[in-house]
């Protein structure tokens, strides 16, 4: 354990159970001023629960959180914010019907207690912060109209404007591209120099190694190691989770039968035209994240118009576009096949469902369980499983593994590779460089106004 005189936040023997499920088991750690600590581990390891306890959004069953040697007793996040803890969640955190500026104004007004707080004052306050440049043109745009990635930036900036002592980033970088991540890193280094404590959660190991001073690894609710970043290697961490790709990556692109032509007629998407073959993973790439995502949704719509072609979509936002939060695990899986008579026979249905569970290594307690009780990685597996039950020809994948742990990620990658060998086609849109290299058999990349096909 790292102990220093600059310790600002101390977590002592914190445990937490949900019903019979122990999420945190006697966790202790400390965070110091001017230090970036990464929490790393698979989904369900307890990282998010831990930061929620720090922020007062959840209560620990036992143990305590000490801020500057005082036991915190936060009733909600607003108490934590008042005490100098800023929290950036993975999704949400902005009011969609308001503009970016109004969102900032409300947050600042509630927390900085500045009087005479008008839009002009906020604008000048924002102008002082150099990192806002990238959002300058979007200040008066409603949040619902900006992309997931821009929303994430705005959420990060909103947190940065609070002059907190501790900043927590929970999967805040999933939608950032490498260039933005470099800027994000600069901001963090500034904060670090200013003596702030930073807790960083990411599933991207490269980011973790790029950014942190200390990496603390959680598994099944326990701290299994905590090291200075110089003292540990990526390989050592990966070995802790024993994940390996099972399928070797032959990228045999010959002998492919053409499946269909895709014509995108939307002007804002360059009116492009390309083809898709059986058994390939076509990667649509662009340095413009928003453009890339729009392409994904448009391709899905276009493919849907092709007669006799069964097309599926894994959307970018797992929770707000993918799952049905009011339905059980079983219903979420069966939704696309429930109108087929063969899935009404319980033996057939059970067989198909059990196959999915083994193939995806889906972790859950029972079929009637609500989908929201599953971890992020398992929710994403359910969305993939839903399409696997159908006899799809093409699956459009938009950020299929964003924000999920390395184990789930490997499982999903292996499945895509296997399905591809079975002759299924995929259209892939991802910000994950490694994923792109591993899965893709052919690229269509867009740069500014030109289309390059390789």
Partner 1 sequence: MLKKIKKYNLLVMLLVLIIIFGIINPAFLQPSNLLNILTQNSIIGIVSLGMTIVIIIGGIDLSVGSIVAFCGLVLALLLTLNIPLIAALLITVVVGSFFGLINGVLIKKGKIPAFIVTLGLMSAIRGGGLLFSNSKSISIGGSELNSILNTKLFGVSFSALIFIVLSIGLWYLLKKTYWGKYIYAIGGNEKAARFNGIQVSKYSIIVYVISGLMCGIASILLVGSLNSAQPQAGQLYELTAIAAVVIGGASLAGGKGSIFGTFVGVLILGVIQNGLSILNVPSYYQYILVGFIIIVSVLIDKNYNTK
The footprint of partner 1 (CB under 8 A) covers 300, 304, 312-313, 315, 320-327, 331, 334-336, 338-339, 386
Q: Pick between residue 264 and residue 314 the one whose CB is nearest to partner 1.
A: 314
Which token pair is 120?
């002009």
Helix (H) or strand (E) holding 260: strand 258-263
Q: Where are the alpha helices (H) located in 195-314, listed in sequence order?
A: 205-211, 234-241, 289-305
Pairing state between β 311-314 and 394-398: parallel
Pick 425 or 441: Cβ nearer partner 1: 425
State in angstroms the smallest separation of the CB of 291 from partner 1: 19
Q: How far is the CB of 49 from partner 1 (least distance, A)?
A: 14
Q: How far apart are CA 286 and CA 20, in angstroms?
A: 46
* DSSP-derived 3-state class of residue 195: coil
- Tokens representing 114 are 């500045």
Contact call for residues 367 and 331 (beta carbons, < 8 A): no
Q: Which two tokens stand for residue 346?
A: 């319980």
Compute the least distance from the CB of residue 302 to partner 1, in Å. 14
At closest approach, how far in Å is the CB of 322 from partner 1? 6
Which residues have a Cβ under 8 Å from the Cβ of 184 and sit 6 or more positions away? 156, 173, 176
State the nearest-atom distance from the C-beta of 130 to partner 1, in Å. 36
Nearest distance from C-beta of residue 313 to partner 1, angstroms: 5
Closest approach of partner 1 to the CB of residue 350, in Å = 17
Q: Spell out a b/e string for 290-321, using b for 16 or more CB atoms within 10 Å of the CB, else e.
A: ebbbbbbbbbbebbeebeeeebbbbbbbbbee
Nearer to partner 1, 247 or 338 (CB): 338
CB of 326 to partner 1, least distance (A): 4
| CA distances, 218 to each of 22, 51, 142, 224, 237 (Å) | 13, 13, 38, 6, 11
Query: Of the two residues 124 and 339, which places its CB atom closer to partner 1 in the complex?
Result: 339
CB of 26 or CB of 304, closer to partner 1: 304
Q: Of 9, 162, 184, which Cα lies nearest the Cα of 84?
A: 162
CB of 176 to partner 1, least distance (A): 23
- Strands 7-18 and 62-67, bridge-based pairing: antiparallel
Q: How far is the CB of 387 from partner 1 (least distance, A)?
A: 9
Instruction: Write down the residue that tokens 């409603």 correspond to.
Output: 142
Query: Which residue, 240 or 317, has its beta carbon nearer to partner 1?
Result: 317
Cα separation, 399 vs 205, whole angstroms: 17
Pick 15 or 304: Cβ nearer partner 1: 304
CB-nearer residue toward partner 1: 41 or 400: 400
Tell me how long the chain is.
Answer: 454
Q: With respect to partner 1, which residue has the nearer C-beta, 320 or 433?
A: 320
Question: What span, in angstroms and rounded, lies between the C-alpha atoms of 182 and 344?
Answer: 52
Distance of alpha carbon 350 from alpha carbon 361, whole angstroms: 16
At its nearest, how many Å lie between partner 1 and the CB of residue 164? 28
Closest to partner 1 by CB, 271 or 320: 320
Contact by Cβ (8 Å): 183, 176: no
Q: 353 Cβ partners below 8 Å, 6+ apart? A: 330, 333, 334, 367
Q: Which is nearer to partner 1, 89 or 315 (CB)?
A: 315
């Amino acid at each position: 354990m790292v102990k220093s005189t600059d310790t600002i936040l101390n977590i002592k023997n914190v445990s937490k159970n949900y019903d019979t499920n122990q999420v945190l088991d006697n966790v202790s750690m400390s965070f110091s001023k001017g230090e970036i600590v990464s929490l790393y581990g698979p989904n369900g390891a307890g990282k998010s629960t831990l930061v929620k306890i720090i922020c007062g959004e959840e209560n620990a069953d036992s143990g305590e959180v000490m801020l500057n040697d005082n036991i915190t007793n936060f009733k909600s996040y607003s108490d934590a914010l008042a005490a100098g803890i800023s929290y950036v969640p993975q999704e949400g955190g902005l009011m969609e019907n308001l503009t970016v500026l109004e969102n900032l104004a409300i947050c600042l007004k509630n927390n900085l207690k500045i009087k005479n707080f008008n839009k002009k004052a906020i604008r000048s306050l924002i102008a002082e912060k150099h990192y806002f440049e990238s959002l300058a043109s979007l200040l008066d745009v409603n949040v619902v109209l900006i992309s997931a990635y821009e929303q994430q930036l705005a959420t990060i900036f909103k947190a940065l404007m609070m002059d907190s002592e501790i900043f927590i980033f929970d999967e805040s970088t999933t939608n950032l591209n490498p260039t933005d991540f470099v800027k994000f890193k600069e901001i963090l280094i500034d904060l670090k120099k200013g003596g702030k404590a930073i807790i960083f959660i990411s599933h991207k190991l490269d980011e973790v190694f790029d950014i942190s001073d200390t990496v603390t690894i959680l598994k099944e609710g326990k701290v299994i190691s905590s090291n200075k970043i110089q003292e540990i290697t990526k390989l050592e961490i990966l070995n802790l989770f024993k994940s390996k790709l099972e399928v070797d990556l032959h990228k045999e692109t010959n002998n492919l039968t053409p499946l269909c032509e895709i014509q995108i007629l939307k002007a804002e998407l360059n009116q492009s035209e390309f083809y898709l073959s059986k058994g390939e993973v076509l990667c649509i790439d662009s340095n413009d994240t928003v453009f890339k995502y729009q392409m994904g949704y448009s391709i899905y719509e276009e493919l849907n118009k092709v007669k006799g072609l069964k097309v599926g979509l894994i959307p970018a936002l797992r929770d707000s576009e993918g799952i049905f939060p009011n339905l059980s695990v079983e219903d979420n899986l069966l939704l696309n096949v429930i109108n087929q008579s063969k899935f009404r026979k319980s033996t057939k249905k059970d067989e198909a469902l059990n196959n999915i569970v083994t193939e995806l290594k889906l972790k859950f307690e029972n079929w009637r369980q609500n989908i929201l009780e599953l971890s992020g990685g398992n929710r994403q597996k359910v969305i993939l499983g839903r399409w696997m039950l159908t006899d799809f020809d093409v699956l459009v994948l938009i950020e299929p593994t964003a924000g999920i742990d390395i184990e789930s990620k490997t499982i999903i990658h292996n499945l895509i590779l296997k399905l591809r060998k079975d002759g299924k086609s995929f259209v892939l849109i991802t910000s994950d460089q490694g994923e792109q290299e591993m899965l893709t058999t052919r690229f269509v990349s867009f740069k500014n106004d030109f289309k390059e096909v390789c």
